[in-house]
Amino acid sequence: MKIAVISDTHLREPDQRLTEVFNKYLANADLLLHCGDMTTFSMWQFFCQHPNFHAALGNCDEWALSDYLQPLESVNFHGLRIGIAHGWGSRSQVSLNVAQSFGLEYDLVCYGHTHIQDWSIVSGVQMLNPGSLTSTRDEHPPCVAIVEVDNEQNMECSFVPVD
């Protein structure tokens, strides 16, 4: 099973680059997760073309999206319990804040906000931050995180550059 995770797109409208990224990396995923800061309703509609799309509300998302998205979202998918959040607080505390909000009963918790990639265990929880799809805050290029899940629900994450 393949899970594609993105965050912090910060676009007002889907553009050609995003369409290419969607077609190449996201469309064929079994599950597509967005960790917030899509920013607009039009962006949300674009991602909704994926048949299994879930997202959390980010701090830069327009108010209209709060009718459709929550700050904390849970997804049960093929026996995996997955949490999705944007994140809050200082950069050094975001993963801890989010991990503690979901807790140990989650197999995977995905978050954004920092624009920095992360695949680590925090407070006993497997955390994933894909970084930003458009504007990173570290040495890594914009990317999509791909989580491959085997039949025993072991997870392996890779960060796939999109530029």
DSSP assignment of 120-144 equals EEETTEEEEEE--SS--SSSSPSEE
Number of domains in the chain: 1
Q: For residue 154, give every residue at least 6 positions away whose Cβ sits within 8 Å of its Cβ, in sequence order, or none.
A: none
To which H or E segment does residue 85 belong? strand 80-85
Separation of first and last alpha carbons in the chain? 25
CATH code, domain carrying 142: 3.60.21.10
pLDDT in tens, 39-57: 999 999 999 999 999 999 9
Mean residue pLDDT across the chain? 95
Structure tokens belonging to residue 134: 């458009």
> pLDDT tens digits for 142-159?
999 999 999 999 999 999
Q: For residue 103, give its domain range.
A: 2-161
Q: Return the structure tokens found at 117.
A: 């990639």
The CA distance from 68 to 66, in Å, is 5
Per-residue pLDDT, 72 = 98
Tell me the two tokens of residue 162.
């999109």
Q: Model-level pTM?
A: 0.95
